[in-house]
Amino acid sequence: MTGDDFGWLYLAALAGAVLLGAVLPVVPTGAAVSAGAVLASHSNPIGLIGVLIAGAGGAYAGDLIVYAACRAGGEKLAKRVGWLRDNASLDAIRERLAEHEITVLLTSRLIPGGRVPVLLAAGLAGYRWHRFAVVDLAASSLWSAVYMAIGLLGYALFDKPWQGVVAAIALVLLTTVVSSVIQRLRKKTAAAKLTAD
């Protein structure tokens, strides 16, 4: 794929892929937004606005679907779909959500693996629909902007679009791995403190 292939069809596909990945978190949606930023930069820099909107719109629509499903179907649906695995962590997220709702909702999208538990906690706890919709719009936009920035870094590093796309995907994967390692270390440290007490 070259920068010349970038256009409305790509933006629609990007929004659809991000929406699908938001509902079924197996699609690498961040990498798709980063790749879109690289392609837009090479062919039509004004298209970056489209990438931002397509990424944020797909993420937002997907989050609303998951949230609505959790509100309507409850814990039974969440377990059946595979969204709910660890009740103890869900209870902890509910507490954090009650204490720092906006911060938790905004940052959950940026932490790999953090979005679904927060959406579950919000949906299962009956978090107000209109408040969730407003905060998640900001969270989805922030998420799209961050992954777009990663794509722009890939664009800045390489001359050819395919090289920038590969670099952007590698940066997204590296960010995900580093974040996961940090989360595991924090959990081990917290568990060690609990056993020491």
**What is d(CA 96, CA 86) in angstroms, rounded to the nearest whole number?**
16
Asked if residue 115 lies in contact with residue 65, where contact means CB atoms within 8 angstroms, the answer is no
**CB half-sphere exposure, 72, CA atoms < 13 A:** 6
pLDDT, residue 1, reads 42
Best CA proximity match to 92, nearest among 64, 125, 67: 125
pTM over 0.85: no
* pLDDT tens column, 135-154: 899 999 999 998 898 888 87
The DSSP code for 2 is: -
Q: At what angle do helices 129-157 and 101-108 cross, to 10 degrees?
A: 40
What are the φ/ψ torsions at residue 83 (nearest 5 degrees)? -75, -25
Give the residue from 13, 78, 80 showing the smallest Cα distance to 51.
13
pLDDT score, position 4: 46
Start-to-end Cα distance in the chain = 56
pLDDT in tens, 87-133: 546 666 667 777 777 787 888 887 777 787 778 778 777 788 888 89
For residue 46, which phi and psi values (nearest 5 degrees)? -65, -20
Q: Give me 20's structure tokens.
A: 């699908």
Q: What percent of the chain has pLDDT over 90?
A: 18
Q: Domain residues of the chain, as ranges?
A: 3-196
Contacts of 146 (CB under 8 A, 6+ apart): 110
Residue 191 CA, chain-centre distance (Å), reads: 27
